[in-house]
Structure 1
Amino acid sequence: MWLENNGTARRSPWSPAVPESPIPAAYRRGIFRAKVNAHELTSTHAQIECLENPSPGTMVWLTFTGLESRAAIVEESAAFRIRLRFVEPFHPAVLDAILQGRLGVFH
């Protein structure tokens, strides 16, 4: 398994990473669908900006470009910012690809 991190990097591939800019994603809860921006993406959590404030404990689906939909549980929701916990965490290599914008790129 090859990850885009070396021994001199400030973080290991398994530690949380914070992207420098928002990551576009698709959000779905029931029949409501929206395009959102994901912030503070880690292997287990994400924070998104959305047009609604679902109650904590609600299951939603988040889709990143090039990946299948991921189930997530709402942990907090206030002022149209939602903190989500993914049902299944991202593999470190997949998280690296999302954060570096390499999904959907062949070379």
Structure 2
Amino acid sequence: MAYVDKFGKPTILPNADGHPTTPSVVHFYDRNACVVGEEAVKMVVVDPANVVRFIKRSMGDSDFQLDFFGQTYTPQELSAFILKKLKDDAEEALGVAVNNAVITVPAYFNAAQ
């Protein structure tokens, strides 16, 4: 994550774990209850059936869905959990509400993604 500081300078904003990046990994531990990022990565070994990684690659695939604890999620919904974590971390670090964001798209994504 990054933000533009009061001097107009782009600045890296560490996440809640103090790292400059947040893994796009989600772990569900109950219906509609999940953790994102480093905490979710730790669960890959412990509870791999309830962990989703590489979800960005499935964006735009209308047939792709995953089920966790009886709830079905699309790639867009799973990505929303990741974006919420980033927003929450940014608000905590900056001490202000974050209402706008710029999200980059990998050059290799197609139009649907």
TM range (shorter): under 0.3
Give the TM-score normalised by the residue count of structure 1: 0.27
Give the TM-score normalised by the residue count of structure 2: 0.26
Larger radius of gyration: 2
The structure with the largest strand share of the pair is 1
The structure with the largest helix share of the pair is 2
